[in-house]
Structure 1
Amino acid sequence: MSCVCARKTDEWPGWECSITEAECYFLIPSSKKCAQMYGEGPDACSEQKGGVRSERD
């Protein structure tokens, strides 16, 4: 599990999201989980199960 949008910080929880410019929602960044739960991140634009929107929608 990883996310290209996560940047390491010295503040809790240790990761910042380059999309939201806030702390990452996950203790271990996961682009797939972020796309499934919040519709954000690099995997949000790809077509996936679970109702995540694609670029064509």
Structure 2
Amino acid sequence: MGSNSQDTLDCFPNGLPFERKDYLAPVDLTGSATRHNQRGYFSASHITILKRLNIN
């Protein structure tokens, strides 16, 4: 039994239960991690996602 996108929308009628910055901060952190078997990463000199989007 799989779920579809309508099931997800029904669970969160007012959107996701967290703020955008609470999602983007870990994305920024994990994106800057470098590993030998990983092709891409965010450069250490890169401006953070939150600053680029002007989110406090």
TM-score range relative to shorter protein = under 0.3
Return the structure number with greater strand share.
1
Bigger relative contact order, structure 1 or 2 (CA pairs below 8 A, ≥6 apart): 2
TM-score (norm 2): 0.22
Return the structure number with greater helix share.
2
- Compare CA radii of gyration and give the structure with the larger one: 2
TM-score (norm 1): 0.22
